[in-house]
Structure 1
Amino acid sequence: MDPTEVLGNLGKKYSPDILRSAHEPKSAQELSDELDIPVTTSYRRVEALNELGLLEDDEDDREFGETGQSQTLYQRNVSEIVIRFEEEDVEIESKERDVTEQPLSSVWEDLSRGIGGDD
């Protein structure tokens, strides 16, 4: 990640709000509606954050909007960004978001079956 590019994009209005809100998959339109951001700005910010690797898009995970068009869903790819200002350099370190293989609802179902199940 280019530190200057990351800092520049994080400093743009709405980018931090989009990252905060994208803890679960959402389309650029949903982010626009939820955060009261102009839709064109939402798409630009989402695309820039996606290119930096701070948001991930799941081409297989799409939803259909009101017009019936397929919409890509985006989710925050990082849980933490650390910026270090060294004497001659700026360093950016990101911590990837923890991803579980199994959705929480599925884990709960498995646990529920184990408690009082047919043992």
Structure 2
Amino acid sequence: MSRSRTEGNDADSTTVLSALGNKYSAEILCAAGTPKSAQALSTVIEIPIATCYRRIEELVDAGLLTCEGRQLSAEGRRTNIYRRTLDEIEIDFSDDEPEFSRKRRTEAKNRLQDQRKD
């Protein structure tokens, strides 16, 4: 198993573990299988919006979540839309440093999932 690198961001093991270890991070990743705004994630998971934004920032920095673009909210404001970048992550603690194996989400899977929600 080799250490995985995030696209455009060499998130180290400390960053990934820290992001995954925070309360609500796993819930955000599960809910972000389809593109969602921070407000939608906050509502679905039932967490304060400020907490949701902090977790989103940590997950983006770790390469586990990505901003897919912007869309208009119901109030007419432009909001960022987020989606997770992986479906699975395995962490191996047998060496001096943790090593990660990730199953990345493919663009084809994203398109299929997007069609199901319509």
Superposition TM-score tier, normalisation by shorter sequence: 0.7 to 0.9
Q: What RMSD in Å do the two structures reach over aligned CA positions?
A: 2.1
Report the Cα offset of residue 51 of structure 1. 1.6
Which residue of 2 is the match for residue 42 of structure 1? 52
Which residue of 1 is the match for residue 75 of structure 2? 67
Residue by residue over 1:3-57, the C-alpha shift from the partner in whole angstroms, topping out at 9 and shown as x without a partner, is 1111111110000000000000000110001110100010111111112111111
1:81 is matched with which residue: 89, 97, 104? 89
TM-score normalized with structure 1 length: 0.78
Report the Cα offset of residue 101 of structure 1. 8.2
Task: State yes or no: 1:25 paired with 2:63.
Answer: no
**Aligned residue runs from structure 1 range 99-114, under 5 A:** 99-100=107-108, 103-104=111-112
Could you list the runs of 4 or more consecutive aligned residues of structure 1 that deviate by over 4 angstroms after TM superposition? none
Report the Cα offset of residue 80 of structure 1. 0.8
Report the Cα offset of residue 94 of structure 1. 1.5
**Percent identity over paired residues:** 40
Report the Cα offset of residue 88 of structure 1. 1.7
Task: State yes or no: 1:14 paired with 2:17.
Answer: no
Looking at CA atoms only, which structure, 1 or 2, has the larger radius of gyration?
1
Extract unaligned runs of 5+ from structure 1. Answer: 108-119
1:4 is matched with which residue: 14, 20, 31? 14
Q: Is the 8 A contact 2:63 2:85 kept in 1?
A: yes
Report the Cα offset of residue 66 of structure 1. 3.3
* Cα pair distance change 1:85/1:47, threshold 3 Å: same
Task: State yes or no: 1:95 paired with 2:99.
Answer: no
Return the letter of the residue paired with 2:58: A
> Does 1 or 2 have the higher relative contact order (CA < 8 Å, sep 6+)?
2
* Cα pair distance change 1:104/1:89, threshold 3 Å: closer
Extract unaligned runs of 5+ from structure 2. Answer: 1-10
Partners of 1:19 and 1:71 in 2: how far apart? 18
Which residue of 2 is the match for residue 110 of structure 1? none
